[in-house]
Structure 1
Amino acid sequence: MTRTITYDQLAELAGTDLGHSGYRTVTQDQVNLFADATDDHQWIHVDPERAKTGPFGAPIAHGFLTLALAIPFWTELLEVKGVSTKVNYGLDRVRFPAPVTVGSRVRMRATVADVAEIRGGYQLTVDQTIEIEGGAKPAVVARGLYRFYA
């Protein structure tokens, strides 16, 4: 569920659990398009027949594809009204504890760890965990940095 706030409320978000996004299914088409975009056509991603005999029993999404899903997941969790610009400023830490097999459903849980005033706006430090439905470990654990300018 999307939390909607105004720019003036950003400073109060530190420590806020934003909950989790909805689930998305990772498809072979997504994996293939990502492989084309990044020129990473390793068989474990793009050859479903060969991947069946690989270490995960199925093709897996690229770690960076799974990480990239944080973008649409983030927009499901927080909407800030009254800003002129929103910037994905970067990441402080990223880990890929578990692979995402094609056909898996994933979602993101996020908590605002910190809010800092910056020139012209605010920077949010967000702890993000991309979870695999039914998985024992998360697919991605990351600390994202997002900037909002008035």
Structure 2
Amino acid sequence: MAKIVVRSFEEFQAYVGKELGVSEYIKVTQEKINQFAEATNDHQWIHTDPVRAAAGPFGKTIAHGYMAVSLTPHLWEQIADIQNYKMLINYGVEKLKFAQPVLVDSEVRLRVNLASLVNLRGITKAQLDATLEIKDNPKPAFTATIIFLYHFN
């Protein structure tokens, strides 16, 4: 699926209530999990100790839930080419539900629907219904409403 291209509030508005697309899969490696643990000082064994995690509830390490959420901007850029803006703000995450752990070496991708779009005196508030899908797993890693603010030129 080709990226959608959006250059203004009016162009974005045409997508309200529609699926915007699906990203490519990205592999969640132990190296990436360890880097996230280092960056956040969250070194819980279920994430960083493959030997101990092998005997744990999932049989291997799992990605941090917030690591999965943090992949959203990168994967979103694969779905949409938003142009003609001077600033983008990560405004919020609502209704975040973790449904399934992301096991090490799993592949995940993002599926996005545009739930709503509001013009706040020249600032575009986009609410994206986002689902992080795990390859070959019927349950998603998470579902959430991701909110971005775009300041179009």
Residue type of the partner of 2:6?
I
What TM-score do the two structures reach when normalised by structure 2?
A: 0.94
Residue type of the partner of 1:77?
I
What TM-score do the two structures reach when normalised by structure 1?
A: 0.96
- In the TM superposition, 1:7-46 aligns within 5 A as 7=8, 8-46=10-48
Alignment size in residue pairs: 150
Residue type of the partner of 2:96?
V
Q: CA deviation at 1:32?
A: 0.6
RMSD value over aligned CA atoms?
A: 1.0
Structure 1 residue aligned with 2:97 = 95
Q: Is the 8 A contact 1:32 1:45 kept in 2?
A: yes
- In the TM superposition, 1:101-120 aligns within 5 A as 101-120=103-122
Superposed CA deviations along residues 67-121 of structure 1, whole A, max 9, x for unmatched, are 1111101111111221111111111120110000110000010000001111222
Runs of 4+ residues over 3 Å off in structure 1: none
Q: For structure 2, list consecutive stretches of 5 or more residues without a partner in the other structure.
A: none
Separation of aligned partners in 1, 2:86 and 2:28: 32
Q: Is the 8 A contact 2:3 2:21 kept in 1?
A: no
In percent, how many aligned pairs have the same letter?
Answer: 37
